[in-house]
Chain A
């Protein structure tokens, strides 16, 4: 059911999500224009990346997120900030808001809590 809803969310929000395995312990390897989430701290382990919103992350990354990077590209009127939420459909608490170029290698309070995110013009 969750898979079906996640796919619906992808269609609704025009999500373009990707999956990659990163072994980087240094620079965050996140494609330009995308928001990336890793299962491990310091941008390690499996990575999910999106250029759009996702109201309900896939089960493998949902509540297993440990590091985050916003490689969005700014421009007039462009939604380039990312807000991460602890519940699906941008519900519950917002755990972090990142401007383009900002990264978080680990956050004890937000670790393994993310369920959804949305791009916005600001925090």
Chain B
């Protein structure tokens, strides 16, 4: 994981804040305004998922498979898994700053659908995995902060019973009360905001790639031809 000294961290935060103030936001404008691309972020997400779903369904249909929610026999489900998620070596791999190496297959209908929508499957995989785990990275960095460690120690003392053995997990009500009383909630909120700024600055190249590829996918999703309605009755020919 990337570590930084307090001085380097302050410099990163300052740089991140400057980027935001200057309008050079990390996740900038999207494909809104283009024909067929909705302005609303949630509607864009729905458009992308609908396009991906349709491409996947068409790809599976070419192999005689369907995505119905019915229960499948293990062998039948393995066939679907291989067709949908891919099989064999995992060609896509990204190691995050948290230490996790996220992998995926480059074959399979899901990968094919994403390649068609986003254009560059490897670049999209790297950008999506990195951006999707910025919060996890920020929270991992937060754990190293002495203020967080001190607040966590206060929380542990608060949540540990004095009259009986410590349970495997605290009662949710006790956990919430101790998070308030120990100041852990406040410390986490403050540090997480700072560390999010830092990791967004560290990964601004991936954030830019994410935005660019998403914009491209929105255009491609909007341009997908309407699905062919299912044939009814007999072919007259």
Contacts and interface: CB of A to CB of B under 8 A. Distances in A.
A101 B1 contact: no
A73 interface: yes
Interface in B201-233: none
Interface string A69-109: 00101111110110000011101011111111111111111
Contacts of A100: 85, 110
A28 to B, nearest CB: 9
Interface stretch (B15-23, B32-40, B165-173): B165-173
A12 interface: no
A123 B132 contact: yes
B56 A74 contact: yes
Given A74-B110, A122-B132, 4 more contacts: A74-B53, A87-B175, A96-B136, A107-B99
Interface string B84-98: 111110100000001
B102 A103 contact: yes
Interface in B49-77: 49-50, 52-53, 56, 67, 69, 72, 77
User: DSSP majority for the B interface?
Assistant: helix
Given A89-B172, A109-B98, A104 B103 contact: yes
B1 A109 contact: yes
B45 interface: yes
A33 B69 contact: yes
Contact of A93 (B46, B131, B139): B139
Given A27-B87, A76-B46, A78-B49, A109 B99 contact: yes
B125 to A, nearest CB: 8
Interface residues of B, number: 49
User: DSSP majority for the A interface?
Assistant: loop
A93 B85 contact: no
Nearest to B89: A26
A100 B111 CA distance: 10
B108 A101 contact: yes
A76 B101 contact: no
A73 B49 CA distance: 11
Contacts of B101: 104-107
Interface in A48-83: 56, 59, 62, 71, 73-78, 80-81
A20 to B, nearest CB: 10
Contacts of B131: 123
Contacts of B69: 33
A94 B49 contact: no
B5 to A, nearest CB: 20
A94 B77 contact: no
B143 interface: yes
Nearest to B88: A27
B140 interface: yes
Contact of B136 (A93, A106, A115): A93
Interface in B145-174: 167-169, 172
Given A31-B77, A32-B80, A91 B53 contact: no
A7 interface: no
Contacts of A15: none
